Structure 1
């Protein structure tokens, strides 16, 4: 199914589809994509970012119910949450290298004080390892909104939380080269050249450096499956085309002709 032109409908109409799509992404991640010791949940809050889908690592079998593992809180750190990803050897994971080649990689240490004013608060005892975010009109409606989105995305990457950003909305005056370009400039300090195709699918792998896997897209294109990183160099493929189509299949008929016309 080709990507639709979502500028043909009001923000509230896209909002309805947005929720249906993230629910399909969550469902397929849990049903057949994620390894058994990971799970996905929709619409929790991580430091005010408001992620659409969280990917978390479950507690080890011998952990206490409160996630303390018999010590003073998560990871034995007086109840504080550690945003770092799981031990690469844990759980016998069978994760793959991404099929896509990275579009860019930082060549300098990430400036860790850039977002010091943002506080990430843990909403459960399980560790967040990745976030999927579908960009909405609300993320672009003001300069403050777009700066907040970019700042929090950069902060989460600095905290070793992998991201996938799906931007099916065309660039505007506040993001003339798309939100990915703003995120990359925030973490690398260098602007990206303008891309010819206006929409963007981006996955970010974060470790000692940050690598971006970017697929530019346009209205009428089919969606490319994208890597969602759970560990550095270890990812699962998220079937974006299949989940998009499943969400559109149950989209209200009232609005389909305007999008398909």
Structure 2
């Protein structure tokens, strides 16, 4: 994981678009069962329209899961953060399983990261984010009780594969590191050098 606070939000947006494409390609090629498929789709809220990966089952093309990559815009204002948290909670209440990658450190609007806000909203419990690992990956298994599987990382860490639940007690593992690296290598060298300066 690179330090995306070093570049303008537009640079991350371009990378995020490529990462979403790489994730969809991997999911459809060899991760999802044959009766599921993944596509990038626009998710509209009151304050923005953003792309997320939507996983559907072929029976009625119903939504079973989503992957969301948090962007700077999601944290740009109190209203934007609230919109993200509200939409996340609504999806979980509709029994849609989620995987959220939050590659930005917490700020005054999300002191425990986006997951901290979602968890407090869903359960009333407080979540503490480790100070030495401020970036969050979280898989939500949505059943009668929502379960969260959290991995915290820091800039420089390799991304772990994370579960994406398609049904209660049934998940696939999402290759975050492989798809992240593929997307990063496709970025212009100008920005790769800023985020990962050449050695020597």
Structure 1-normalised TM-score? 0.72
Flag structure 1 segments of 5+ consecutive residues without an equivalent: 60-66, 68-125
Q: Which residue of 2 aligns with 1:135?
A: 70
Alpha-carbon distance between aligned partners in 1 of 2:114 and 2:137, rounded to the nearest angstrom: 10
Kindly tell me the number of residue pairs found equivalent between the two proteins.
194
Change (3 A) 1:46 1:236: farther
Q: Which residue of 2 aligns with 1:183?
A: 118
Is the radius of gyration larger for structure 1 or structure 2? 1
Alpha-carbon distance between aligned partners in 1 of 2:169 and 2:45, rounded to the nearest angstrom: 26
Q: Which residue of 2 aligns with 1:201?
A: 137
> CA offsets, 1:74-123, max 9 Å, x none?
xxxxxxxxxxxxxxxxxxxxxxxxxxxxxxxxxxxxxxxxxxxxxxxxxx
Deviation of 1:43 after TM superposition, in Å, equals 2.1
Alpha-carbon distance between aligned partners in 2 of 1:247 and 1:184, rounded to the nearest angstrom: 30
Q: Which residue of 2 aligns with 1:215?
A: 151
Structure 2-normalised TM-score? 0.93
Q: Which residue, out of 119, 132, 150, partners 2:85?
A: 150
Larger relative contact order (CA 8 Å, sep ≥ 6) = 1
Does the alignment pair 1:20 with 2:22?
no
Q: What's the RMSD between the two structures over aligned residues?
A: 1.3
Deviation of 1:46 after TM superposition, in Å, equals 6.6
> CA offsets, 1:36-87, max 9 Å, x none?
000000023377774510000013xxxxxxx5xxxxxxxxxxxxxxxxxxxx
Deviation of 1:190 after TM superposition, in Å, equals 1.4
Alpha-carbon distance between aligned partners in 2 of 1:50 and 1:212, rounded to the nearest angstrom: 23
User: Which runs of structure 2 are paired with 1:17-96 in the superposition (5 Å)?
Assistant: 17-45=15-43, 50-59=50-59, 67=60
Does the alignment pair 1:159 with 2:157?
no
Does the alignment pair 1:227 with 2:174?
no
Flag structure 2 segments of 5+ consecutive residues without an equivalent: none
Q: Which structure is higher in strand share?
A: 2
Alpha-carbon distance between aligned partners in 2 of 1:187 and 1:240, rounded to the nearest angstrom: 26
> CA offsets, 1:134-181, max 9 Å, x none?
000000000000001001100100000000000001111101111010
Q: Which structure is higher in helix share?
A: 2
Alpha-carbon distance between aligned partners in 1 of 2:127 and 2:173, rounded to the nearest angstrom: 26
Alpha-carbon distance between aligned partners in 2 of 1:131 and 1:51, rounded to the nearest angstrom: 11
Does the alignment pair 1:247 with 2:186?
no
